[in-house]
A = this chain, B = another copy of it.
């Protein structure tokens, strides 16, 4: 029954928050669902920086997609790269095969963008996928190892200098994590390099950190970062990145480790859908999240360009989940001939963690920070994490890190060693 080919076939591209919530909302609909992702797992992106920072291991914040939807008998999961969408013939190319759809939900999210400087990518990895997180972890830990065996003091200082480009939530979280690693986790374990002497630069082109938050919270976050030893540079645009450092106009910071949290571009699949797109490649959708000329195609999550009350709906997990649920509801309504409703984003606010006991929280009307903000941040993340096992594993690792200042996943795997 579950594979009944007389039922409409809904193909969902991407197993992030948008795709997964759309899948779940089709559980009892009279459709067949195929969920396709290039990874075999869903990642809880808000905690990805903690995998990069070696506090959590990858499996703590990920779960196999087919395990999550195992009880949903109308769903087939495919791990495959989708390379093309043929909107005329209504089919997608996945690996060597083509799959016909009646409805298509495109939820392939976004990737890093280097403002046209693709050569920067090699020197400044971004943080979007589990593999990205493991790459950043490897670079950070390897830099301290390289410093320890570097006989030249100037070169050693370059290995102990870290630059994070972009001071949105990800940049702020990475900077705070790096400061904790250098100043609390690693001292006493090195004999030649001194992790406490590490320099951590957070570089932001705009006038303040966390620019999407109220100014008061931005100021609190910046002050807290500076007290932790992070050097915050605002109104400072990155103009060059190479293997030896970062240029900001006339100024150069010699650094062997650069992390990119500055720009995102929509998934390249968006370009195959025709229609209007914004500068970052996001696809303009109709009020019900379908394509204006193709009511059978929906675009949701970070890939969608949705405006509401004159404002852009942000690329955040809650927005992606709400869009996923909405697209599924529109499909259910269409099938039974009900009229469909326009999407309305419910904005509950946003939050960002700065350190092990400090976060900023903006609930639109209620703003708080410091330890209370951190407790709120902590419970919110545990609550939204998928899976009982993951929740317990994350709580246990956090408790251990909190008590010992240690990190449970300080191992370097994969890739060649990061060396000169």
Interface stretch (choices A61-69, A261-269, A305-313, A374-382): A61-69
Q: Is A367 an interface residue (CB 8 A)?
A: no
Residues in A163-178 with C-beta less than 8 Å from chain B: none
Cβ-defined contact, B62 with A411, below 8 A:
yes
Q: In the complex where A60-B57, A191-B3, A393-B396 touch, is A411 in contact with B70 (Cβ < 8 A)?
A: no
Q: Is A340 an interface residue (CB 8 A)?
A: no
Cβ-defined contact, B408 with A134, below 8 A:
no
Q: Which residues in B have their C-beta under 8 angstroms from that of A141?
A: 40
Q: Which residues in B have their C-beta under 8 angstroms from that of A206?
A: none
A26 → chain B closest CB, angstroms: 15
Residues in A141-199 with C-beta less than 8 Å from chain B: 141-142, 145, 148-149, 151, 188-192
CA distance A62 to B414 in the complex (A): 15
Cβ-defined contact, B70 with A149, below 8 A:
no
Q: Is A77 an interface residue (CB 8 A)?
A: yes
Cβ-defined contact, B130 with A413, below 8 A:
yes
Cβ-defined contact, B409 with A2, below 8 A:
no
Tell which of B58, B190, B392, B419 touches A95, judged by Cβ atoms closer than 8 Å: B419
Q: Is A131 an interface residue (CB 8 A)?
A: yes
Q: Is A79 an interface residue (CB 8 A)?
A: yes
Residue in chain B with minimal CB distance to A404? B389
Per-position contact with B for A398-410: 1 when CB-CB < 8 Å, else 0? Answer: 0010001010111
Q: Which residues of A contact B (CB under 8 A)?
A: 2-3, 38-41, 57-60, 62-64, 66-67, 70, 75-81, 94-95, 97, 130-131, 134, 141-142, 145, 148-149, 151, 188-192, 389, 392-393, 396, 400, 404, 406, 408-414, 417, 419
Given A40-B410, A389-B408, A393-B396, 18 additional A-B pairs, CB 8 A: A39-B411, A41-B410, A57-B58, A57-B60, A58-B411, A59-B409, A59-B410, A64-B189, A64-B410, A67-B410, A76-B148, A78-B145, A79-B145, A79-B417, A97-B149, A134-B413, A389-B404, A389-B406
